[in-house]
């Protein structure tokens, strides 16, 4: 039982390049989330998906797009990377949308130069 | 806007003592509050959830209190061990959908 799996673990991009961060969960959870974590800022929600087929913006969605490919997978795309997007990205999932714990992946450390 | 404050300074305590971490929040009344542990280079791991109508919750050596009047949660680790050394994050649910707003975390170091 792997839980939440993110790929890649590390990535270096040049400004303007695009990439997709992949996330998959094997717990049959309905809801999935993308957060970024920056020093001194805490985790901030980028996008979330309450259920398969739905996505919505979080606190810091600018510069990102998401796709809920199916119940298991939720990807995050950077169309034109900027240095301000240098961060650690975490995917999370939860069984429901109320009173429920979130399970996090191990993170993707992204550097944009 | 909603603000969550946790002690930014590291908390150093001796093994066997009780560690107490504080989470204060403003401009919001969350339905529940969660505590997570994060080790370096790893994702957060859920520890406890406490609802607005619960004053206290326990799990093994962990205890969480939730005072909605003071807008404060306290997180206690009793009989602390070096293995408890980590960063502890407070998170509030905001706007439904289990969307969490996190504090910046408090680093705990338990020394022998």
CA dihedral A71, B43, A59, A6 (to 10 degrees): -40
Q: In this complex, do A103 and B105 lie within 8 Å of one another by their Cβ atoms?
A: no
Average pLDDT over residues A53-66: 96
pLDDT at B28 exceeding the cut of 90: no
Q: Which residue has the tokens 């970024």?
A: A36
Chain A nearest CA to B93, separation (Å): 9
Residues of chain A whose beta carbon is less than 8 angstroms from a beta carbon of chain B are 4, 31, 33, 35, 40-45, 48, 50, 56, 58-59, 90, 92, 94, 96-107
- A58, A62, A56: which is closest to A46 by C-alpha? A58
Instruction: Quote the Cα angle for A14-A17-A21, to 5°.
Output: 105
Q: Which two tokens stand for residue B82?
A: 């070096």
* Cβ–Cβ pairs < 8 A, chains A and B: 68
**The pLDDT value given to residue B96:** 74
Question: Which residue of chain B is at minimal alpha-carbon distance from A4?
Answer: B43
Using an 8 Å CB-CB cutoff, list chain A residues near B39: none
Most confident of A8-22, A35-49, B85-99: A8-22
Residues with Cβ within 8 Å of residue A27, at least 6 apart in sequence: A1, A3, A4, A93, A95, A103
Contact criterion met (CB below 8 Å) for A9 and A106: yes
Q: Which residue has the tokens 């717990």?
A: A27
Extended strands (E) in B53-99: 56-59, 62-67, 72-77, 86-93
Chain A nearest CA to B48, separation (Å): 8
Contact criterion met (CB below 8 Å) for B112 and B82: yes
pLDDT digits (tens, 9 = 90+) for B57-110: 999 999 999 999 999 999 999 999 999 999 999 999 877 777 889 999 999 999
DSSP-assigned letter for residue B54: -
What percent of chain A clears pLDDT 70, i.e. is strictly above it?
99
Using an 8 Å CB-CB cutoff, list chain A residues near B51: 99
Q: Which of B100, B103, B105 to mutate to test the interface with A (most CBs of A within 10 A)?
A: B100
pLDDT digits (tens, 9 = 90+) for A49-59: 999 999 999 99
**The pLDDT value given to residue B24:** 96
**The pLDDT value given to residue B76:** 98
């Amino acid at each position: 039982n792997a839980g939440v799996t993110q790929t890649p673990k590390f990535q270096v991009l040049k400004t303007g390049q695009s990439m997709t961060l992949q996330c998959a969960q094997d717990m049959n959870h309905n809801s999935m989330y993308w957060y970024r974590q920056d020093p001194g800022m805490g985790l901030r929600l980028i996008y979330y998906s309450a259920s398969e087929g739905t996505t919505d913006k979080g606190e810091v969605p600018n510069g990102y797009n998401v796709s809920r490919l199916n119940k298991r997978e939720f990807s995050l795309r950077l169309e034109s990377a900027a240095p301000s997007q240098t961060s650690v990205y975490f995917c999370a999932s939860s069984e429901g949308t109320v009173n429920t714990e979130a399970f996090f992946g191990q993170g993707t450390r992204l550097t944009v130069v | 806007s909603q603000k969550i404050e946790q002690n930014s300074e590291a908390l150093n305590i001796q093994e066997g003592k009780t560690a107490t971490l504080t989470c204060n929040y403003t401009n919001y009344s969350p339905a529940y509050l969660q505590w997570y542990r994060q080790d370096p280079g790893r994702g957060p791991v859920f520890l406890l959830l406490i609802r607005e109508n619960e004053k206290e919750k326990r799990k093994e050596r962990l205890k969480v209190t939730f005072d909605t009047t003071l807008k404060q949660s306290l997180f206690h680790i009793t009989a602390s061990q070096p293995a408890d050394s980590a960063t502890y994050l407070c998170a509030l649910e905001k706007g439904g959908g289990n969307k969490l707003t996190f504090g910046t975390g408090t680093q705990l170091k338990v020394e022998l």
